[in-house]
Amino acid sequence: MATGSSGGGGLASNHDGQEAASNSAQCGAAAALSNVPPPGPTPSASPPVLGLHREPMYNWQATKSSLKERFAFLFNNELLSDVRFIVGKGRQAQRIPAHKFVLAAGSAVFDAMFNGGMATTSAEIELPDVEPAAFLALLRFLYSDEVHIGPETVMTTLYTAKKYAVPALESHCVEFLTKHLRADNAFMLLTQARLFDEPQLASLCLDTIDKSTADAINAEGFTDIDLDTLCAVLERDTLSIRENRLFGAVVRWAEAECYRQQLPLTSENKQKVLGKALPLIRFPLMTVEEFAAGPAQSGILFDREVVNLFLHFTVNPKPRVDYIDRPRCCLRGEECSINRFQQVESRWGYSGTSDRIRFNVNRRISIVGFGLYGSIHGPTDYQVNIQILESDKRITLGQNDTGFSCDGSANTFRVMFKEPVEILPNVSYTACATLKGPDSHYGTKGLKKVTQESTTGTKTTFFFFSSPGNNNGTSVEDGQIPEIIYYT
C-alpha cells in the first residue's frame, strides 16, 4: 500500500508542513464561520467506502447526455475505478474510489503520482493528513466542476486544494471565506491566510481589522494568533483604536501565550513571549494618564523605560525613547502634502511665540501633520508644539508637544499629530507651530492658493490668509509652516 507523500514525489507533499497548524485550527475556523460545532467521529471497524453509487452498470452511458454528466456519474463510484484512497486517520478513515485519468487531467500532483518518474503502482494510497469530506469536495470538483464547501469544511478543503495544486478550487475557498469575513473572525482567518499563503485574503482581513479594530481584538480568535501575525498587525499605521486599549489587548495575548508555552504568568515571562512585538507598541501616542494607569504599572517595561517615557510626556527638551511616535492614522487612501512657498531663505528666529497661518480648503480632508523648516547651523534637535484651531470659535482641534531632528538642509521635516484632525470645507482654521531651538530656514514667495491633485484625480485646494494677533511673523508671503500633510 502506498501513501500520498511517497507516491507523488516532492509535489504531493508540498504542504505537509502546514498539516499540524491547519488541523489545529479547523474546529476554531468552523465555529467562527458558522457557530456550529463540527460533528464528532463515527466509529468504524475498517475504512468504509463513502456514499458509493449503486446504479445498474449496464448501458448507464445512454442515460447521460453530456460528457459532464458521464464524468459526474463516475464521481465516488467503483465503476471503472482503478485506484482507491484511504483518506484520514484511524476510525475516521474512509476508502474512496477514483479514476487516475480524471485526477491526472485535473491536478499536476496526481499526474506526477500516477505518471511521473516515481509513479506509484499501488491500487490503494493512504492520505492520513487529508480529511475525507475535503477530499471528496476536491474529487467532486475534478469530476464535475461542482463546488461543495461549507463552514465546517472550507479550511480543510483549502488545504487539500493547495496540496494537490487545484488553484480554481482554492479560489472558490478564498471567495467563500471572504464572503464570511467579519471583525470577530478576522484574526482567525488572517492566521489561516498567512499559513496558506493567500495574500488577497490576508489583505482583506487586515482591512477589516483596520476598520473595526476594537471588535477584532475583543474576539476570541485574537489571543490565538502567532507572534508574527501579531507583529504584522502592530506594525500597521491604520488601526482605528487608542494605543492604551491596544496595549491591553497585547497583554491578553501575552497571557494566553504564557499558557501555551506552560510558563508562569509573571511580568518577566509576558515580556519574554512578546519579544519583538513590544517595541511596536506606540507608547508616545498615549496620554500621560493612559500610560500611568496601564503600561507603567504592568511590569512589562523596564524601570528605566518607564522613567524615560514619563519624561517624554512631561518635560522639555524631551529625551529620546525607543518607541515609535508616528500616529496610527485610521484613514484610507493616499497621503498627500502641499507646500505653500516657492523659495527657501535663511535665518528665522524664535522667542517662544507661535508661528501661525490661517487657511481653508474646498473639500473635507484629515490633516495628520506639518512639514517644518530646520536649523541653518547643521544637525539640530527642536522642541515644538503644533496645533490646529478652528479660527472663529478659537477651539483647539488637535495638538502635539513633540520634537524633531533636522540635518541642516533646507528640506522640511515631518512633525505629526497623535490623531488625524478633521478639516471641513469652507471653514477657517489656523495652523500653529511654536518652536524652541536655533535660527532656521524659512520660506518666501508664498502662494495664496495651492491646488494638489492626487493620483486618483482628486483635487484639493488650500487658500491661505495671514493670521492677526500674537504671531512670530509668519504670513502668506513668508515664514514657517511651509507644508501641510493630509489625507483626502
pLDDT tens column, 137-186: 999 999 999 999 888 889 899 999 999 999 999 999 999 998 999 999 99
The whole-angstrom separation of Cα 481 and Cα 373 is: 7
Residue 277 lies in a domain: yes
Beta strands in 233-340 (DSSP E): 335-339
**What is the rounded average pLDDT of the residues 242-256?**
94
Does residue 379 share a domain with residue 271?
A: no
How confident is the model over 36-50, as a mean pLDDT?
A: 47
Considering the domain boundaries, does residue 143 fall inside one?
Answer: yes
Number of domains observed in the structure of the chain: 3
Residue 34: what pLDDT? 56
Confidence (pLDDT) at 121: 79
More confident residue, 330 or 476: 476
Q: Which residue has the higher pLDDT, 380 or 9?
A: 380
Which of 57-66, 189-198, 203-212, 372-381 comes out lowest in average pLDDT? 57-66
Residue 44 predicted with pLDDT over 90: no
Q: Name the residue with higher pLDDT: 44 or 401.
A: 401
- Which among 217, 58, 50, 63 has a CA at the least distance from the CA of 137? 50
DSSP state letter for 336: E
Q: What residue numbers bound the domain in which 88 lies?
A: 63-166
Q: Tell whether 218 and 294 lie within a shared domain.
A: yes
CA–CA distance, 285 with 416 (Å, rounded to integer) = 11
**H or E stretch covering 180:** none
Q: Are residues 84 and 129 in the same domain?
A: yes
| 330 inside domain | no
Give buried/exposed letters for 140-173 (b at 16+ CB in 10 A, else e): bbbbbeebebebbbbbbbbbbbbbbbbeebbebb
**Would you say residue 411 lies in a domain?**
yes
Q: Is the pLDDT of residue 359 over 70?
A: yes
Non-local CB neighbours of 392 within 8 Å, separated by 6+ positions: 428
Write down the residue that cell numbers 464528532 correspond to. 40
Judge if 479 and 346 occupy the same domain: yes
pLDDT band (50, 70, 90) for residue 48: low
Decide if pLDDT at 446 tops 90: yes
Q: Tell me, yes or no, whether 118 and 245 share the same domain.
A: no
Q: Which three cell numbers stand for residue 352?
A: 517662544
303: domain CATH number?
Answer: 1.25.40
- Whether the pLDDT of residue 351 is over 80: the answer is yes
Could you tell me if 204 and 270 lie in one domain? yes
136 plus 191 within the same structural domain: no
Final residue of a structural domain among 166, 197, 218: 166
The torsion angle over the Cα atoms of residues 135, 136, 137 and 139, rounded to 10 degrees, is: 90
Q: Which of 34-48, 73-87, 92-106, 333-347 has the lowest mean pLDDT?
A: 34-48
Backbone φ/ψ region at 201: left (φ over 0), alpha (ψ -120 to 50), beta: alpha
Kindly state whether residue 141 falls inside one of the protein's structural domains: yes
Residue 228: what pLDDT? Answer: 93
Q: Which of 282, 314, 346 is the last residue before a domain boundary?
A: 314
Query: What CATH number does the domain containing 103 carry?
Result: 3.30.710.10
Q: Are 373 and 301 within one domain?
A: no
Is residue 175 one of the residues assigned to a domain? no
What gap in Å lies between CA 5 and CA 451, rounded to an integer? 62
Question: Is the same domain home to 286 and 391?
Answer: no
Please, which residues have CB within 8 angstroms of residue 5's CB and are 6 or more apart in sequence?
A: 12, 13, 16
The answer as to whether 29 is a domain residue is no
pLDDT tier at 3, thresholds 50, 70, 90: low
Is residue 12 over pLDDT 90? Answer: no
Q: Are residues 79 and 137 in the same domain?
A: yes
DSSP class per residue in 80-137:
T--EEEEESSGGG-EEEEE-HHHHHHH-HHHHHHHHSTT----SEEEETTS-HHHHHH
Q: What is the mean pLDDT of residues 347-370?
A: 93
From 54-63, 199-208, 216-225, the region with the lowest mean pLDDT: 54-63
What's the start-to-end Cα distance of the chain, in Å? 64
Edge-first strand order for the sheet with 83-87 is 2-3, 124-127, 83-87, 94-98
Same-domain pairing of 364 and 258: no
Which of 133, 166, 199 is the last residue in one of the domains? 166
Whichever domain contains 352, its CATH number is 2.60.120.820
56 domain-assigned: no
Query: Quick one: 426 and 346 in the same domain?
Result: yes
> Does pLDDT of 102 surpass 80?
yes
| Pairwise pLDDT comparison (54 vs 137), residue with the higher score | 137
Is the pLDDT reported for residue 344 higher than 50?
Answer: yes
Closest to 137 measured CA to CA, from 76, 178, 89 = 76
User: For a pLDDT cut of 90, what percent of the chain falls above it?
Assistant: 57
Quote the distance between the C-alpha of residue 15 and its chain's center: 23
